[in-house]
Chains A and B, each alone.
Chain A
Amino acid sequence: MVKSFIPGTYEEALELLDKNEMILMAGGTDLMVKKRNWAGLSPLFDKDVLFISELRELKYIRKSGGFIHIGAMTTLEDILVHRETPEILRKAVLLMASPGIRHIATLGGNIGNASPAGDSLPVLYILDAKIVIDGKGTERMVPIEEFILGPGKVYLESREMIKEIVINDVRFDMIHYEKIGGRKSDAISKISFAGGISYKKGRIDEFRCAFGAVAPTVVRSRKLEASVNGLGAEEIKKSYAELIRPIDDQRSTAVYRKKVCMNILDEFLDKAGEYK
């Protein structure tokens, strides 16, 4: 039978993880469904389980300089109500799951799950999030786009865990978040979009946008973003039309996704035009 460990401190958790390969249990809202067994029986874990969700050292939101630090085990609800939470992240979290899930689901779990439909991800991409990864005696920091390798795949050694997420507190003149799903709550995204624009003297100064659930990982192109300055809406759309190549799956078709992506981009640029 697999063993479970419920460490009292973060240090103890890292010690345990150093000795033994384990499944990290955060809020459990992804894991408990994935490993579900018959009612009444324990879920089907094939490795020992390390409970980390209640580690107080991993629950915080702090602002310092131009950065916001979010502890990996901060719940979605805590993010929703915290005054330092950037508005675009708040918008995304508000549309995630339902209250009964948001009270236990964590940001670290949403990233660790690395679902193409993970709704915090497009926002974290445009806020240049960095993932702080910790193991006994090692700590490293990687940009989110290098941390998430593909569906369910992350750049993490067996002795490591996500400790915190650092985001850039960019203040855009205008932000736009959109989630398209089957129903309003508890829906897995067919498409999600996060965008932000700032202007200087009537010209685009900062332009960022990311699409979720349309490809194995979030689509954001810094190269394209850097080139939009001075371009008109039609030209910007044309460039993104080449970049976005969605997939067919059980939730939606490539054709539908592409069309809706372009519509959302259109709306975003339209709305942005008014702020010039």
Chain B
Amino acid sequence: MTEIEFVLNGKNVTIDVDPTKRLLDVLREDFGLTGVKEGCGEGECGACSVLVNHEIVSSCLMPVGNAMGKDIVTIDGFSKTERYRVIHGAYEDEGAVQCGFCIPGMVIATESLLNKNPDPTEDEIKDALSGNLCRCTGYNMIVSAVLRAAERGKGLW
């Protein structure tokens, strides 16, 4: 066990934990942040996406030891922001959500993209979401939702 310190959804946290434990498990079990989902558990679906220093990371692949000193935001924390409100509204209006399991990851991927590139093209959106699978929607509505969020949120990113 080792003490690992990081910032989680804006608060400094310290946890005594096995550093090889997956960040995903630490977030869900130790911190009760169940907005972070486990789909495949091997890096292929993006359901477990979180922001690490404001960039998307698959938390099922990251040992918590590598989170030392990082700034980590999960959907649970991100959902309290104005940016989230805009993304949420755009997904809703475009009909981009069906069962919802992939959506926390999709929203994190959207934020990671818009934070770097507030005015993305359709191709850039597809690249940015390429690690996130959705079994329900067929993706078109999700791409439209990101375009709409970028348009409505001008100035926010």
The reply to whether the CB of B130 lies closer than 8 angstroms to some CB of chain A is: yes
* B142 smallest CB distance to A (angstroms): 15
Residues of A within 8 A of B60 (CB): 32
Cα A33 to Cα B57 with chains together (Å): 15
B140 interface contact, C-beta 8 A:
no
Number of A-B contacts (CB under 8 A): 108
A141 within 8 A of B: no
Which residues of B are found within 8 Å of A6, using beta-carbon distances? 2, 19, 65, 68
| Total number of A residues with any Cβ neighbor in B under 8 Å | 32
The segment from B21-29, B76-84, B148-156 that touches chain A is B21-29
Docked pose: A49 CA to B21 CA in angstroms? 12
Q: Is the CB of A185 within 8 A of B130?
A: yes
B52/A54 in contact, CB under 8 A = no
Query: What count of chain B residues pass the 8 Å CB interface test?
Result: 35
A104 proximal to B (CB < 8 A): yes
Task: Pick the residue among A28, A42, A185 that contacts B61 (CB under 8 A).
Answer: A28
What mask results when residues 1 to 27 of chain A are scored 1 for a CB within 8 Å of chain B, else 0?
A: 010101000000000000000000101
A104-B130 in contact (CB<8A): no
Instruction: A6 to B4: give the CA distance in the assembly, Å.
Output: 10
Residue on B with the closest CB to A35?
B20
With a cutoff of 8 Å between Cβ atoms, the chain A residues found around residue B74 in the complex are: none
Q: Mark A24-62, 1 if CB is under 8 A from B, else 0.
A: 010111001101100111110100010101100000000
- The chain A residue sitting closest to B70, CB to CB, is A54
Give residues 1-45 of B contacting A (CB, 8 Å). 2, 18-22, 25, 29, 38, 41-44
B44 and A186 form a contact (CB under 8 A): yes
- Complex contacts, B44 vs chain A, CB 8 Å: 186
Instruction: Please list the residues of chain A having a beta carbon within 8 angstroms of any beta carbon in chain B.
Output: 2, 4, 6, 25, 27-29, 32-33, 35-36, 39-43, 45, 49, 51, 53-54, 77, 97-101, 103-104, 184-186
The residues of B with any CB-CB pair to A shorter than 8 Å are: 2, 18-22, 25, 29, 38, 41-44, 46, 49, 52, 55-58, 60-63, 65-66, 68-69, 109, 112, 127-128, 130-132
